Structure 1
Amino acid sequence: MYENQGRDHRRRAVGAALVAAVASAGIENVVLEKHSREHVLGRIRAGVLEHGFAELMREAQCGDRMDREGEIHEGFFIAYNGEMHRVDLAGHTGGNSVMIYGQTELTRDLYEARDRMGGTVIHEAADVQPHAMDADAPYLTWRQGDERHRLDCDFIIGADGFHGVSRRSIPSNVLREYEKTYPIGWLGVLSRTKPVSPELIYARHEREFALCSLRSQVLSRHYIQVPLSDRVEDWSDEAFWEELKLRLPEDVAGSLIAGPSIEKSIAPLRSYVAEPMRYGRMFLAGDAAHIVPPTGARGLNSAASDIYYLYHAMVDHYETGDDAGLESYSDRALARIWKAQRFSWWMTMLLHRFPDHTEYDRHLQETELDYLFSSHAATTSLAENYVGLPF
Structure 2
Amino acid sequence: MTRTVTAVNPTVRQGWRTGRWVALALFVIVAIATVGTYLTAPRPGEPMDPQSTSPDGVRALVTLLRDRGVEVVEARSVADVEGAARDDTLIVFAETFRLTGDEQLRRLADLPGDRLLVEPVSRVREALAPDLRSAGASSFAPAPDCDLREANRAGDAQLGLADSYRSANPDLPLTSCYDGALVRYRDAGRTITVVGTSGFMTNAGLLKQGDAALAMNLVGSAPRVVWFAPREREGAAGSATLTDLIPDQVTWIVLQLSLVVALLAIWQGRRMGPLVAETLPVVIRASETVEGRGRLYRSRRARDRAAEALRTATLARLLPRLGLAAGAQRPAVIQAVAQRTGADPGPVGHTLYGPAPATDTELVTIAHQLDDIERQVAHS
TM-score scaled to structure 2, two decimals? Answer: 0.22
* Higher strand proportion: 1
Q: Which has the higher contact order (CA 8 A, sep 6+)?
A: 1
- Greater Rg by CA: 2
* Higher helix proportion: 2
